Structure 1
Amino acid sequence: MAINFNVVCTMSIILNLFLVAMEAQAGALDVVAKFGAKADLNTNLSKPLLDAWKEACASPTPTTIVIPEGTYLLSQATLEGPCKAPIELQVQGNIKAPADPKGFKEPKWVSFLHVENFKLFGGGAFDGQGTAAYKREGFEKHDFCSNLPINIRLDFLTNAMIQDITIRDSKQFHANLLGCKNITLERVTVSTPKDSPNTDGIHIGRLDGVKIINTNIKTGDDCISIGDGSKNLDITGVTCGPGHGISIGSLGKFANEEPVEGIKVSNCTLTNTSNGVRIKTWAGQFPGTASDIHFEDITVKNVSCPVLIDQKYCPWNKCKMNEESNVKLSNISFKNIHGTAALPEVVKLVCSGAFPCENVELADIDITFNGPNGPAKSECKNVKPNITGKQNPAACSTPVPENPTPTV
């Protein structure tokens, strides 16, 4: 009897695909089908999600938790490790926080804590419903002592991937990363109105090895803010605007801050932002260091201050402007930054008189300003940058005013 090897081969492939699918299905925990979650905006997702997480975390084999399509109400969830095996959370649906900020006893909504080999993905959204919070009566933009929750906290994760997730309308920061090692955020979307205060898109602090790739951020504060202790960051392909730009800092506000080092921001586009790429440290206050920071291949479109070192950072006059910053900045470059500015101060390097900036490079800066308030300016203080390539406007050609305009 002749054997048709093509048929046998095809059947073998189909069988293998079936077994792979069955294996994947066996390792998936559906919060609706297995744990009773309901996409009705009345049933709290908290218990089904926590029950699914508990089972997945205890499993000795890799497990995927699935939140199917639909809109869910989630009061709060802390998803904590360590877990026995890699774990994934596939969010396909739209998860909403309670609109009333009074319902939160802690400044967090969804938290992932002490997890290794973790992936959050799926195309779904975390909606903080923050409009009611930052427009409430009596709220001030500098009211940082409030108990407003952060949409997503990622604390002490190792080898993690956040991919194809939307984070919107947070009541405070959208995503806060602390103490992580080797974490990647790719194709993340952050969206909130431009008048939403203290709603940083992604805030980073005290971690080592972060990649932010092809991410789109629209917010009312810094698109990305980088705090003390941040090391080995690679930010590329980010679009930012509206917002306050991509910022290192603010630094020097608190005692015992850890050094910032090894930051690269490249191939990013900023549109209609109040700042472009900047480093900000508090006037006076506490010592610190930031070094090996590089911004390159940046496009700015109608940005108020595209290139900025601000060592007189003092929002709402909450510091002593007559004192110098005690944060030492060194090994910094701004390369191939081009586009248009909304204000004349195209380049502003205001360094500390106590610790002047060292080894700063300006290379191929070409930013035009066509407004009514005079020609474009490049201002420098307490710094002697290395200048190469085209400089439009001419580098450091304008003195810094005695009382520079505060930035936010």
Structure 2
Amino acid sequence: MATRKLQITAVAAILLLSFSSTSDARVYDVTNYGAKADGRSSINQALMSAWKLACASTSPSKIVIPKGTFLLKEVKIQGPCKAPVEIQVEGTVKAPANPLSFKTDGWLTFNYIDNFTLSGGGVFDGQGKIAWGQNDCHKNKNCKRIPMNMRFNFITNALVHDITTLDSKNFHVNVIGCKNLTFLRFTVTAPENSPNTDGIHIGRSDGIYITDSTIRTGDDCISLGDGSRQVHVTGVKCGPGHGISVGSLGKYQGEEPVSGLWVKNCTLINTQNGVRVKTWPASYPGSVSDLHFEDINMVNVGNPIVIDQVYCPWNQCQANIPSLVKISNVSFKNIRGSSSTATAVKLACSSKVPCQDVVVGDINLTYKGPEAPAASCQCSNVAPSFLGKQSPQVCASAA
């Protein structure tokens, strides 16, 4: 309860900051700087003209992209700014459809901004369909990097609310080096078969809040890379997609620890996985700690609860060499619903650094498929402690 109150307080504080800082703000409408809502003329010059003025203002300011359809090419919105700035998007902003028209792997990139708000109920349409057929980065190390819809780099004290990201060519949102950034009533939409379209990917950031949001995509709804700290996910509906994941971790030398994740009051529907922690075998040393998954409803979810320290997609690893990523202080509590696979709970930890301080409480997962008469559990190199009832019986035959 204390953690929940802390999260609500943090979100409320950011909302208060946003509304108080922009209620009397000077407004810069991009149509006054040459932007046309025809869906064909680039608004880059108009947006950058408005941003230059807003960012230089010593009092709070707001940039408005009004209702209509606008074309926006690759752009970087750069700080620092002298006062809080809000970008209010009311219309639909479209990216060029051809991925070859991009020089980098970001369509809309925000850099080094403090006290920033992105709002308005608008849509950022990445027009990703052409790119999805060219996206093989998950299995081709020499692939051409395909642009993401939004990149937030070194953003602090920021709020993104009532915004939709649609059909990104790659990840929808990438968060790196940020602190105190909230996504509220945020919507991610892409087809189930769109590759590598993670909803929100977080790395090397501290204090990220994802609240009352809906994520439908072709990869992880939310994924945490190394260095993610104090991440709170509450009231999120995920699916289709690959679930909510920590990792994969341990592939690269020098990865920073992951510490502090709370996933609460979420619903996962028709996802390939539920809540998952994954590390590579034959990994570099690392650590994952203080992860808590609670009050989660699973609806026809494959592998609802997973710790996988032998994560080895496409057999591109040495699966016989144990992972060196240490996992500790993890809890799964009040997780209920239905599994689309017989293995409802899988806790496959490293034989070299077994999982420690794993708590499993009040699990109620059912399976009605053809593979087995009931849901089952697989465990290795872990000795959990238990609270309440377990269905299936968790780690009854743990190795």
1:140 to partner: Cα distance: 6.9
Cα separation, 2, equivalents of 1:228 and 1:24: 37
Q: Which residue of 1 aligns with 2:16?
A: none
Q: Which residue of 2 aligns with 1:396?
A: 395
Alignment of 1:252-331 (within 5 A): 252-331=250-329
Q: Which residue of 1 aligns with 2:59?
A: 61
Q: Which residue of 1 aligns with 2:359?
A: 361
Cα separation, 2, equivalents of 1:325 and 1:193: 33
SS of residue matched to 1:47: helix
Cα separation, 2, equivalents of 1:41 and 1:35: 16
1:25 to partner: Cα distance: 7.4
Cα gap change, 1:390 to 1:127, in 2 (>3 Å): same
5+ residue gaps in structure 1?
1-22, 401-408
Cα separation, 1, equivalents of 2:231 and 2:192: 26
Cα separation, 1, equivalents of 2:37 and 2:313: 43
Cα separation, 2, equivalents of 1:67 and 1:380: 52
Question: What is the CA deviation profile of residues 127-183 of structure 1, one whole-angstrom value per residue up to 9, with x for unaligned ones?
Answer: 0000111124x9575346322001000110110000000001001000010100101
Question: What is the CA deviation profile of residues 255-277 of structure 1, one whole-angstrom value per residue up to 9, with x for unaligned ones?
Answer: 10001111100000000001000
Cα separation, 2, equivalents of 1:166 and 1:367: 32
Q: Which residue of 1 aligns with 2:375?
A: 376
Q: TM-score, normalised by structure 1?
A: 0.90
1:397 to partner: Cα distance: 2.9
Alignment of 1:115-126 (within 5 A): 115-126=113-124
Cα separation, 2, equivalents of 1:184 and 1:24: 19
AA paired with 1:193?
P
AA paired with 2:375?
A
1:108 to partner: Cα distance: 0.4
Equivalent pair of 2:137/2:145 in contact (CA under 8 Å): no
Cα gap change, 1:158 to 1:139, in 2 (>3 Å): closer
Cα separation, 1, equivalents of 2:350 and 2:25: 60
Cα separation, 1, equivalents of 2:36 and 2:23: 23
AA paired with 1:28?
V
SS of residue matched to 1:294: strand
Question: What is the CA deviation profile of residues 70-117 of structure 1, one whole-angstrom value per residue up to 9, with x for unaligned ones?
Answer: 001111110000000000000001000010010011000001100000
Equivalent pair of 2:25/2:60 in contact (CA under 8 Å): no
AA paired with 1:390?
K
Equivalent pair of 1:105/1:147 in contact (CA under 8 Å): no
Equivalent pair of 1:117/1:158 in contact (CA under 8 Å): yes
AA paired with 1:252?
G
State percent identity of aligned pairs: 53
1:36 to partner: Cα distance: 0.9
Cα separation, 2, equivalents of 1:348 and 1:25: 53
Larger radius of gyration: 1
Q: Which residue of 2 aligns with 1:346?
A: 344
Cα separation, 1, equivalents of 2:339 and 2:136: 31
Alignment of 1:14-163 (within 5 A): 27-32=26-31, 34-136=32-134, 139=136, 142-143=139-140, 145-163=143-161
Cα separation, 2, equivalents of 1:30 and 1:388: 56
1:384 to partner: Cα distance: 0.2
1:310 to partner: Cα distance: 0.4
SS of residue matched to 2:42: coil
1:318 to partner: Cα distance: 1.0
Cα gap change, 1:59 to 1:379, in 2 (>3 Å): same
Cα separation, 1, equivalents of 2:353 and 2:398: 19
Cα separation, 2, equivalents of 1:43 and 1:188: 27
SS of residue matched to 1:313: coil
Q: TM-score, normalised by structure 2?
A: 0.92
SS of residue matched to 1:162: strand
Question: What is the CA deviation profile of residues 214-239 of structure 1, one whole-angstrom value per residue up to 9, with x for unaligned ones?
Answer: 11000100000001111111100000
SS of residue matched to 2:252: coil
Q: Does 1:250 align with 2:251?
A: no
Cα separation, 2, equivalents of 1:141 and 1:131: 17
SS of residue matched to 1:222: coil
AA paired with 2:185?
R
Q: Please tell me the root mean square deviation across aligned C-alpha atoms, in Å.
A: 1.4
Cα gap change, 1:286 to 1:26, in 2 (>3 Å): closer
Q: Which residue of 2 aligns with 1:189?
A: 187
5+ residue gaps in structure 2?
1-21
1:399 to partner: Cα distance: 5.9
Question: What is the CA deviation profile of residues 31-61 of structure 1, one whole-angstrom value per residue up to 9, with x for unaligned ones?
Answer: 00x2010011221011111111111001101
1:396 to partner: Cα distance: 1.1
SS of residue matched to 1:200: coil
Cα gap change, 1:389 to 1:45, in 2 (>3 Å): same
AA paired with 1:229?
G
Cα separation, 2, equivalents of 1:394 and 1:25: 58
Cα separation, 1, equivalents of 2:191 and 2:25: 41
AA paired with 2:249?
L
Cα separation, 1, equivalents of 2:147 and 2:348: 34
* 4+ long deviations beyond 6 Å: none
Cα separation, 2, equivalents of 1:68 and 1:150: 23
